[in-house]
C-alpha cells in the first residue's frame, strides 16, 4: 500500500526538463512516475492515500557534500557570534552562556560585520580568571584569553609548523591562533559519546528543516576517541536513517585502518582528509602572491611540499583517495603537483575541497586529473564584505569560478561547510545561479538552475556510488524528496532565497513538514 502524489511539478533530475505531474511511492521506494490518471488505473487499490501537491515543486532530497555534522550540532547550542552587530552585545551573550568542559566558547564572529574587532584585552576583561575562546566564522582563526593561552603552554615566541601565534607590534602575543596552532584546543573541547550523539541528533533535525537527508562529513579527529565518535555515528544514523559519508582525517587514518570498523548501511567511508592552507577571511589561505590588503603575507602552508607528498603516499598505501582543503591558488597548485605525481587508484577520484581562487593554468591541469571538486557556492555571499580587499579586483577574476570549474569536466558536488556557513541550500542555489553579492559580480561564472541543483542532489551520490538508488526521482530509487512552494526553475534573484520548503521526505516518511501545507485524502 502506497501514496500517490498528484498535481505537482516533479523534477527527476535525470535530465534538465524531465518533469512529471504525479508519483507513486510504496514501502519507502518510488514505484512509478507519470500522469495521475494512468497511475490511478495502474495501481488501483494499492493507493492508500493521495497527496495533492497543488502545483508545488518536488526535487530529490538534498545532500550536503561538505559539512561537519558534530561540529554543526555543537554550534547550534552555543553562542552564535554572527547574530550580533556590536562587540558589546556579543560580550553580554558570551557571559550568559554555559561553559563547555570548563571553557567558555562562542562561535562564528566576522570582524567585518561587527562595530569593533574583538581583541585579547576585550576577552580578558570578559573572562579574567576562566579560559575562553572565540572562533572566527571560518574556524581557521580563534581568539583566546590569557588564561587559556597559558593553559595551552604557549609563549609569544612559540613556533608552530603549519600555523602561527599572532603578535602585537610590541612582540607580545595578541591572543589569535591560526590553523595548526588551534589543534591542542580540540582535545580540550572533545565531547563524550553522549554529547556527540546529542550533537548529531540536533544537527540532523536542523538539516531536515533544510531538506537535507544525507551528508559528506569530516569530524572524526576533533571530538574524542575515534571508536567513541564512530559509536555515536552508528547509533544516531541507524536511529534516524540519515546517511553520512565519512572523510577520515590523516591524524586518525592509521588508527581507523587498524580498527577496521564494521559500519551500518547508514555510514560509508570516503577519502583521507588533509589541509593544505587556511581561510581567506583570516588571511591564512595560501596565495601565489601576497594579500592585497597585507602584502607581507601569502597565507599559511599547513604542510610542506615534502610532507604533503608523504601524506598522499600514505593514503595510497591504504588504497585511499585524498580530499584536500585548498582555498588559495598556491594551495591548489601544491596539491595538483602531488596528484600529478601520485595519481588516484584507477576508477577513483581525489577530492579538491573549496577551490576558491584558481588561476587559468590550474584549470587546465585539473582538467587532466581524476578528481571531484567539492564547492561551496555560499562562500560568495559569506566573503562579499572582504574578498575584494583580500584579493584585489584583478585577482578576484580568478575567484568563485563555478562555471570554469565545471568546464574542467570534474564531478562537482555542493556543500555548506556548516557550521562555517549556513546549510540553507537556497542560499547556495542563489549564489550559484545568480552570482552576485554586495559589490561582487560573478554572473559570468554562474550555473543553470539545473546544474546548481545537481550539486546537492544527483552528484553527491555519484561521488559515493549510491546514485543507483539515491539522488534522483526515478522508479526503484529511495523515496527521498523535498517539496517547495515554488519551482526554483521559475524564480529569479531574491525569490530563490524566499522559496519555502514545505516538506522533507526520507524513504517515504515525512521528517519535516511546514504546518498545514498539503492536503491528503
Q: What domains does the chain contain, in order, with CATH numbers?
A: 2-61+476-513 (2.30.40.10), 102-189 (3.10.310.70), 276-415+439-444 (3.20.20.140)
pLDDT of the residue at 402? 98
Q: Which residue has the cell 604533503?
A: 308
pLDDT, tens digit, for every residue of 369-408? 999 999 999 999 999 999 999 999 999 999 999 999 999 9
| Contact of 380 with 362, CB cutoff 8 Å | no
DSSP string, 234-279: HHHHHHH--EEEEEEEGGGHHHHHHH-----TTEEEEEEEEES---
Whole-number Å distance between alpha carbons of 57 and 21: 9
Instruction: Band the pLDDT of 517: cuts 50, 70, 90.
Output: low
Q: How would you classify the pairing of strands 57-60 and 141-144?
A: unpaired
pLDDT of the residue at 101? 86
Q: Which residue has the cell 536513517?
A: 241
pLDDT of the residue at 518? 72
**CA angle, 29 as apex, 24 and 33 as ends, to 5°?**
35
| Contact of 326 with 353, CB cutoff 8 Å | yes
Helix segments in 44-86, DSSP class H:
69-76
pLDDT, tens digit, for every residue of 447-494? 999 999 999 999 999 999 887 799 999 999 999 999 999 999 999 999
Instruction: Band the pLDDT of 192: cuts 50, 70, 90.
Output: confident
Whole-number Å distance between alpha carbons of 321 and 394: 34
DSSP string, 197-234: HHHHHHHHHHHHTTTEEEEEE--TTSSS-HHHHHHHHH
Cell of 30: 518510488
Whole-number Å distance between alpha carbons of 423 and 409: 26
Q: Is the peptide bond between 419 and the residue preceding it cis, with omega within 30 degrees of 0?
A: yes
pLDDT, tens digit, for every residue of 284-307? 999 999 999 999 999 999 999 999
Q: Which residue has the cell 580563534?
A: 142
pLDDT of the residue at 515? 79
Instruction: Band the pLDDT of 516: cuts 50, 70, 90.
Output: low
Question: Can you tell me the mean pLDDT for 273-279?
Answer: 96
DSSP string, 390-454: HHHHHHHTTBS-HHHHHTTT-EEEE---TTSS---HHHHHHHHHH-EETTEE-GGG---HHHHHH
Q: How far is CA 71 from CA 245, 371, 452, 479, in A?
A: 15, 26, 26, 28
pLDDT, tens digit, for every residue of 93-142? 999 888 888 999 998 899 988 999 999 999 999 999 999 999 998 888 99
pLDDT of the residue at 467? 77
Say what the pTM is.
Answer: 0.93
**CA angle, 468 as apex, 466 and 471 as ends, to 5°?**
65
**DSSP H or E run through 94:** helix 87-96
Q: Phi/psi at 377 (nearest 5 deg)?
A: -55, -30
The average confidence (pLDDT) of the chain is 95
| Contact of 499 with 485, CB cutoff 8 Å | yes
Amino acid at each position: 500500500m502506497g501514496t500517490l502524489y498528484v498535481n505537482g511539478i516533479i523534477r527527476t533530475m535525470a535530465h534538465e526538463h524531465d518533469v512529471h505531474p504525479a508519483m507513486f511511492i510504496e514501502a519507502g521506494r518510488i514505484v512509478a512516475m507519470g500522469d495521475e490518471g494512468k497511475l490511478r488505473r495502474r495501481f488501483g487499490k494499492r493507493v492508500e492515500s493521495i497527496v495533492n501537491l497543488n502545483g508545488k515543486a518536488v526535487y530529490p532530497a538534498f545532500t550536503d557534500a561538505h559539512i561537519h555534522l558534530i561540529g554543526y550540532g555543537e554550534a547550534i547550542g552555543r553562542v552564535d557570534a554572527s547574530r550580533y552587530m556590536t562587540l558589546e552585545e556579543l560580550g553580554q551573550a558570551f557571559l550568559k552562556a554555559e561553559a563547555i568542559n570548563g571553557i567558555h566558547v562562542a562561535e562564528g564572529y566576522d570582524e567585518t560585520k561587527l562595530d569593533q574587532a574583538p581583541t585579547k584585552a576585550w576577552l580578558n576583561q570578559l573572562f579574567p580568571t576562566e579560559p575562553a575562546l572565540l572562533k572566527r566564522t571560518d574556524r581557521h582563526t580563534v581568539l583566546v584569553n590569557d588564561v587559556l593561552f597559558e593553559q595551552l603552554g604557549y609563549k609569544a615566541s612559540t613556533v608552530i609548523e603549519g600555523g602561527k601565534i599572532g603578535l602585537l607590534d610590541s612582540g607580545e602575543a595578541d591572543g589569535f591562533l591560526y590553523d595548526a596552532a588551534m589543534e591542542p584546543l580540540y582535545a580540550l573541547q572533545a565531547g563524550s559519546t553522549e554529547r556527540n550523539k546529542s550533537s548529531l541528533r540536533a544537527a540532523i533535525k536542523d538539516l531536515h528543516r533544510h531538506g537535507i537527508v544525507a551528508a559528506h562529513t569530516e569530524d572524526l579527529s576533533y571530538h574524542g576517541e575515534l571508536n567513541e565518535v564512530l559509536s555515536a555515528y552508528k547509533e544516531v544514523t541507524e536511529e534516524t536513517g540519515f546517511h553520512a559519508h565519512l572523510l577520515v582525517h590523516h591524524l586518525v587514518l592509521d588508527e581507523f585502518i587498524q580498527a577496521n570498523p564494521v559500519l551500518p548501511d547508514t555510514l560509508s567511508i570516503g577519502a583521507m582528509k588533509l589541509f593544505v592552507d587556511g581561510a581567506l577571511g583570516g588571511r591564512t589561505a595560501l596565495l601565489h602572491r601576497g594579500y592585497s590588503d597585507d602584502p607581507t603575507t601569502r597565507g599559511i602552508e599547513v604542510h610542506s611540499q615534502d610532507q604533503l607528498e608523504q601524506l598522499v603516499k600514505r593514503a595510497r598505501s591504504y588504497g585511499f583517495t585524498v580530499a584536500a582543503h585548498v582555498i588559495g591558488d598556491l594551495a591548489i597548485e601544491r596539491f595538483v603537483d602531488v596528484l600529478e605525481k601520485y595519481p588516484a587508484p584507477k576508477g577513483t577520484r581525489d577530492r579538491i575541497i573549496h577551490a576558491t581562487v584558481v588561476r587559468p593554468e590550474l584549470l587546465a591541469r585539473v582538467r587532466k586529473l581524476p578528481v571531484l571538486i567539492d564547492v561551496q557556492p555560499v562562500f560568495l555571499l559569506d566573503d562579499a564584505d572582504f574578498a575584494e580587499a583580500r584579493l584585489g579586483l584583478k585577482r578576484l577574476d580568478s575567484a568563485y569560478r563555478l562555471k570554469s570549474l565545471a568546464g574542467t569536466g570534474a564531478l562537482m558536488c555542493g556543500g555548506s561547510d556548516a557550521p562555517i556557513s549556513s546549510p540553507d541550500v537556497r542560499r547556495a542555489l542563489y549564489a550559484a545561479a545568480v552570482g552576485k553579492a554586495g559589490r561582487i559580480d560573478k554572473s559570468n561564472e554562474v550555473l543553470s538552475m539545473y546544474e546548481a541543483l545537481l550539486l546537492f542532489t544527483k552528484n553527491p551520490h555519484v561521488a559515493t556510488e549510491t546514485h543507483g538508488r539515491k539522488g534522483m526521482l526515478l522508479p526503484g530509487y529511495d523515496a527521498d524528496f523535498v517539496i517547495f512552494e515554488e519551482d526554483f526553475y521559475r524564480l529569479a534573484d531574491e525569490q530563490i532565497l524566499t522559496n519555502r520548503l514545505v516538506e522533507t521526505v526520507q524513504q517515504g516518511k515525512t521528517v519535516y513538514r511546514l504546518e498545514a501545507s498539503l492536503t491528503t485524502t
